[in-house]
Chain A
Amino acid sequence: MSILKKRATAGGAVPPPPRRRLSPKAVFWQAALLVVLATIATWLVMNARAALDARGMTSGLGFLFDKAQFSLGEAFFHFRPGETYLTAFAVGLGNTVMVSVVSIITASLLGTLVGLARLSRNGLASGLAQAYVYAFRNTPQLVQIVFWYSFFTLLPHARNSWSIGELIFASNRGVSLPAPENGAVFAEAAAAGFLGFLVAWGVSILAERRRRRTGLRWKPLRAVQIALILAPALVVWAAAGAPAEWSVPVLKGFNFKGGATLSPEFLAIYFGLSFYIAAYIAEIVRAGIGSVDFGQFEAANTIGLSKSDIYRRIVAPQALRVIIPPLAAQYVSLLKNSSLGVAIGYPDLFSISNTMLTYSGRTIEVLCIMAAVYLVMALAIGAASNAANRYFAIPGRTS
């Protein structure tokens, strides 16, 4: 009987090893470490207190509601002198998030393209992709950013600007593009479309569940999904009076009027972040696809799947398992490196904080708030990647 019982446990979960009690020696060393750390911390804090008292400075977070008298460069969000420090933090955070999001999207697309090109059987495509990866990985990102900045600021004056079809102009003032006259309406329509996309995603999950249960396909699924995405966007757009005017940049005096202008600062940090990280993403994508056993391609070919289905249904789900963790690390790296905007004057979280600590004198508070914000964002990306990893994991396997 006892043998059977033993077998039963051996077949199931392994019982946890008995909890070891810490020896007195271990307790002593840990207590000593705690005391040393606490002493150092107290000593540091007392020094800081004394230093602040000697300079007649106060500490605390009350300064956040004081009015700040500095102005900042233009970016996605604007800051006017006279608004509070708290607003300045929010503006910096907004600019950091915006430039990170557009750079992450660009870097992912470009990196995937280059990674696939490296696997291409076409020698020229794979060679160019390899050259790209070598050049951008083996040089510091800051040098690249400063290089792009110097490139964009050394473009000709507005009068001699480079133009594409008299619609897009590149000059030392930045790149001017045509933009809808009423941009806010389009942003709202895009947001409505995104909500529709989320609903469409939910519908596809439900449809897939039903298919697995009953084996029946829901024929109009694609049409319904497209309608779900487009309809809300169109409704919002029509409700605002269906504005369709586009504003095209025109040279007036020394600068362009109309359209939308991307500043050299934004372009430099955007190019610097996207192109550098894209080189790393290319290597991750290549390794991810390389990790899929070749037999998988052959088997999929044998059962007659089309090339796009092989990639979508067979390769991607297996490759993503390898790709996601390092990819998330690259996204965190991109977000953190957006702080290099300070080198060229892009008003991101770091450069705004840098200005703030000069004006407010609250070095410790400003730096700690900024560090905490970056930490929270990095942890959020990490949590999202863990969730994605669970979603793509093979059910029943831990790794």
Chain B
Amino acid sequence: MSAAIGSYATIGNDAPRRPAPHGAGRLAQLKARYFATPGTSLLTIVLGLMTAWAVVSFVRWGIIDAVWYDPTAEACKTASGACWAVITEKYRVILLGTYPYDEQWRSALIIAIWVVWAVLTAFRLFPLRMRLAGWLAVFVVTLVLMRGGVFGLSYVGTDAWGGLPLTFLVFGGTVAFGIPLAILLALGRRSPFPVVRFVSIATIEGVRGIPLLVVLFFGTLILPLFLPPQLDVDKLVRAEIGMVIFFAAYAAEVIRGGLQAVADGQDEAAKALGMGYWLRMRKIVLPQAVAIAIPALFNDIIRAFKNTTYFAILGLFDVLGATKVALDDPAWVRYGLEGYLFVFLLYFLICSGLSLYGRSLEQDHARRTRRAEQ
């Protein structure tokens, strides 16, 4: 069998080729997937009929019989389908909140800046340092645009802030302030100093054991009682403090997991080189720990985004709170289902985007570590 002279192909020595699967082909594959046994066939048929019924009735309700545009809500009363006119009529309130009507271009601009920079970040078109600096700039621009009072922009108080810009701002602030606090708590929990350890553990476990709403109520109702009357902290800031602490307590446990995954030898080697504690943490331990923790941290970040809706209960006008206001209008009060479905879809898109980004970071990390191990 040495016919293949001049070729490196080996003939006859490698493992026998796998025979073609029995009855390969698209139809057979479908059959194996959906109709392999009588039981699974029955399941396919029952689930298929139910899904078909659900899709057909949703299409009938949501598209065919739906009313799309109707500024007076008259046509909606007689229609048998959905009244999407509530969205076309109220989308400004839902997305921008109760921000002064003439200044709403500022809110729209903020949404545009966030979306553009988020997309640029997601595709990693710039180095990390530039992306983070960009986020800082986005944050500052958002605050300036929302608050006004400089560059000829009129001043708008925080009680009028609302909609998607407020949701973004709250979310961004929670993550930006929460992660450093979480790192401190995680380091504190592993500290050799008993006092530091005790304070960290008490904070983490105490906050994790109570509902976020209770933490937010502590911030909005109790904090002002404990501060001197001349120190008047804005309600939005007080609620934000609660959000940051709650996020940090959860994120601290994730980062602690990352710290535990870093081999002790790394820290010991750095110590042997004579590096001090903070230098070791900053240059050796934390970069590795945070990289390991990022996929799990993204679950907490997504939850922080979902938790911004709690502001609606505090009477602030994030997207959900603004939707509630929009649906208080007696003409549109009967179309809450459509309104909340729209909000549902909005959050679904943003959270799915965040979760896709988190997964891509995870793959990046896996690729990097594989390269490092080779």
Residues of A participating in the B interface, judged by any CB pair closer than 8 Å: 20, 22, 26, 29-30, 33-34, 37, 44-45, 47-48, 50-52, 54, 121-125, 128, 134-135, 137-144, 146-147, 150-151, 153-154, 332, 336-337, 339-340, 342-343, 350, 354, 357, 363-364, 367, 370-371, 374-375, 378-379
Contacts and interface: CB of A to CB of B under 8 A. Distances in A.
Contact of B40 (A34, A121, A128, A134): A121
B312 interface: yes
Given A140-B306, A142-B309, A122 B40 contact: yes
A139 B211 contact: no
B221 A122 contact: no
Interface string B221-250: 110011111000000000000000000000
Contacts of A354: 217
A135 B213 CA distance: 24
B196 A33 contact: yes
A371 B210 contact: yes
B225 A47 contact: yes
B42 to A, nearest CB: 10
Secondary structure dominating the interface of A: helix
Given A52-B225, A122-B34, 8 more contacts: A45-B226, A51-B225, A128-B51, A140-B307, A336-B210, A340-B313, A350-B211, A371-B214
10 contacts: A20-B192, A33-B199, A123-B34, A124-B43, A124-B44, A124-B51, A142-B312, A142-B313, A143-B309, A336-B210
Given A364-B225, A378-B210, A30 B33 contact: no
B334 interface: yes
B352 A370 contact: no
Contacts of A146: 320, 324, 340
Contacts of B341: 147
B340 A143 contact: yes
A139 B344 contact: yes
Contact of B337 (A54, A150, A378): A150
Given A121-B33, A124-B44, A374-B214, A343 B313 contact: yes
B347 A143 contact: yes
B193 A364 contact: no
B337 A147 contact: yes
B348 A138 contact: yes
A268 B48 CA distance: 28
Secondary structure dominating the interface of B: helix
A364 B320 contact: no
Nearest to B206: A375
Interface in B324-374: 324, 334, 336-337, 339-341, 343-344, 347-348, 351-352, 355
Contacts of A52: 225
B212 interface: yes
Given A139-B306, A140-B307, A367-B221, A147 B344 contact: yes
B119 interface: no
Contacts of A154: 334, 336-337
Contacts of A143: 309, 320, 340, 343-344, 347
Given A30-B193, A47-B227, A143-B347, A367 B213 contact: no
B33 A122 contact: yes
Contact of B210 (A29, A37, A44, A374): A374
A336 B348 contact: no
Given A47-B226, A122-B44, A125-B43, A379 B348 contact: no
A47 to B, nearest CB: 5
A44 B227 CA distance: 6
Contacts of B334: 154
A29 to B, nearest CB: 7
B225 A34 contact: no
Contacts of A363: 221-222, 225
Contacts of B313: 142, 340, 342-343
B108 interface: no
B194 interface: yes
A48 B347 contact: no
B195 A30 contact: yes
A128 B54 CA distance: 12
Interface of B: 33-34, 36, 40, 43-44, 47-48, 51, 192-196, 199, 206, 208-214, 217-218, 221-222, 225-229, 302, 306-310, 312-313, 320, 324, 334, 336-337, 339-341, 343-344, 347-348, 351-352, 355
A26 B192 contact: yes
Contacts of B339: 150
A150 B336 CA distance: 6
A273 B206 CA distance: 23
A138 B352 contact: yes
A45 B229 CA distance: 13
Contacts of B340: 143, 146-147, 150
A367 B222 contact: yes
Nearest to A20: B192
Contacts of B324: 146
A343 B208 CA distance: 21
Among B33, B209, B324, B352, residue most surrounded by chain A Cβ atoms (within 10 Å): B209
B337 A151 contact: yes
Nearest to A55: B225
Among B48, B206, B312, residue most surrounded by chain A Cβ atoms (within 10 Å): B312
Nearest to A357: B221
A370 B214 contact: yes
A139 B225 CA distance: 35
Nearest to A280: B299
A137 B33 CA distance: 27
Contacts of B225: 47-48, 51-52, 363-364
B206 A30 contact: no
Contacts of A142: 309-310, 312-313, 320
A124 B34 CA distance: 7
A363 B225 CA distance: 9
A333 to B, nearest CB: 9
B336 A139 contact: no
* Top-10 shortest CB links A-B: A150-B336, A140-B306, A336-B211, A138-B351, A378-B209, A375-B209, A30-B195, A44-B226, A339-B211, A147-B340
A124 B195 contact: no
Nearest to B227: A47
B198 to A, nearest CB: 10
Nearest to A122: B40
B251 to A, nearest CB: 14
